[in-house]
Amino acid sequence: MSAAAPLRPLPLPDEVTAPFWEGCRRGELRMQRCAACARFRFHPRPMCPHCLSLDSEWVRMSGEGTLFSFVICHPPVLPAFQAQVPFVVALVELAEDPGLRMVGGVLDTPPDRLRIGQSVRVAFEEIADGVVLPQWRLAP
Ligand code: ZN
């Protein structure tokens, strides 16, 4: 008898981050933007780190970006990720703002084909019932 696979940690949306996760479920990459100084906030948070405003709005992004950096994860990893190694964790710079970077996986690409500076496009992956993560694929 084999043991059940360990559960992968899942995001826990709250009042501030719920619009981001709802966007992912709908296939939209959304970013929180300060309503006072117009700078993006990622990760979502109540207060702008630049001007301290509490006002914000949600903006649908293009989903296009550039591979800013990445690592290739090998064992040891958390048990929930053991079956996926080696896998890539990438830092992607979004097209709308050179200072706006997100972490995510890169799907369907062997790690040895990745190069810093490659164009990527967001891809949404449902990892559990109703839980969708923004990931990345090389742009065609
Ligand atoms: Zn601001």
pLDDT tens-digit map of 73-89: 999 999 999 999 999 99
Statement to judge: residues 70 and 124 lie in one domain: yes
- The answer to whether the beta carbons of residues 119 and 95 sit under 8 Å apart is no
Instruction: Find, among 63, 46, 64, 43, the residue nearest to 55 by Cα.
Output: 46
- The answer to whether residues 137 and 92 belong to one domain is yes
Report yes or no on 6 lying in a domain. no
Domain-located, residue 25:
yes
Domain count along the chain: 2
Are residues 49 and 70 both part of a single domain? no
Residues 18 and 85 in one domain: no
Judged against a pLDDT cut of 70, whether residue 3 lies above it is answered with no
Structural domain contains residue 7: no
Neighbours of ion ligand 1 (CB under 5 A): 34, 36-37, 48, 50-51, 53
Whether residues 114 and 45 fall in one domain: no
Residues 87, 99: one domain?
Answer: yes
CA of 37 to the centre of ligand 1 (A): 4
Residue 25 CA to ligand 1 center (angstroms) comes to: 27
Residue 64's nearest CA partner among 100, 32, 16 is 100
- Residue 7 — very low, low, confident or very high, per pLDDT cuts 50/70/90? confident
Question: Do 137 and 68 share a domain, yes or no?
Answer: yes
